[in-house]
């Protein structure tokens, strides 16, 4: 398993594209799971199989220390960004994270 937190954020555009290619080749050569945090959705869809979007929602304004995140979108990046929810409905299968 490889965990990446904003790995390409501080790179110049040319180096960034080279690292995208390197990560794609690495994933093709070894069957590993890669979790990557990015704020660049285009990058997420380019490099990922699945794109999960989180939003830190604070439902209780009286509790400013409330922590946590809510999944707001869950996309299959391999199939043109079709939401997993639609795939579940079509197959009548429920998936949980």
Q: Are residues 13 and 43 in the same domain?
A: yes
Is the same domain home to 55 and 43? Answer: no
Looking at residue 2, what is its pLDDT? Answer: 93
Per-residue tokens: 80: 């043109």
Instruction: Classify residue 31 as exposed, middle or buried by CB count within 10 Å of its CB (0-12, 13-18, 19+).
Output: exposed
Q: Are residues 57 and 82 in the same domain?
A: yes
Considering the domain architecture, whether residues 59 and 91 belong to the same structural domain is answered as yes
Q: Do both 62 and 34 map to the same domain?
A: no
Examine the domain organization and report whether 67 and 34 are in the same domain: no
- Number of residues assigned to the chain: 97
- pLDDT for 92 equals 47
pTM score of the predicted model: 0.69
Give the per-residue pLDDT at 86. Answer: 57
* Residues 74 and 87 placed together within one structural domain of the fold: yes
pLDDT of 4: 95
In tens digits, the chain (97 residues) has pLDDT values of 999 999 999 999 999 999 999 999 999 999 889 999 999 988 999 999 999 888 776 666 677 777 677 778 888 888 767 776 554 555 544 444 5
| pLDDT recorded at residue 70 | 75
Residues 42 and 74 grouped into a single domain = no
Q: Residue 88 belongs to what H/E stretch? A: helix 84-91
Backbone phi and psi for residue 70, each to the nearest 5 degrees, phi listed first: -120, 135
**Token pair for residue 92?**
């009548």
Q: Are residues 62 and 73 in the same domain?
A: yes
Work out how many domains the chain is built from and give that number.
Answer: 2
Parallel, antiparallel, or unpaired: how do β-strands 70-76 and 82-83 relate?
antiparallel
């Amino acid at each position: 398993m490889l965990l990446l937190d904003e790995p390409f954020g501080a790179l110049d555009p040319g180096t960034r594209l080279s690292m995208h290619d390197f990560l794609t080749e690495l994933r093709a050569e070894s069957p590993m799971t890669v979790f990557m945090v990015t704020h660049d959705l285009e990058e997420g869809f380019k490099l990922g199989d699945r794109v999960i979007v989180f939003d830190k929602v604070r439902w209780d304004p009286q509790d400013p220390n409330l922590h946590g995140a809510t999944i707001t979108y869950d996309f299959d990046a391999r199939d043109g960004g079709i939401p997993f929810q639609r795939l579940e409905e079509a197959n009548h299968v429920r998936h949980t994270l």
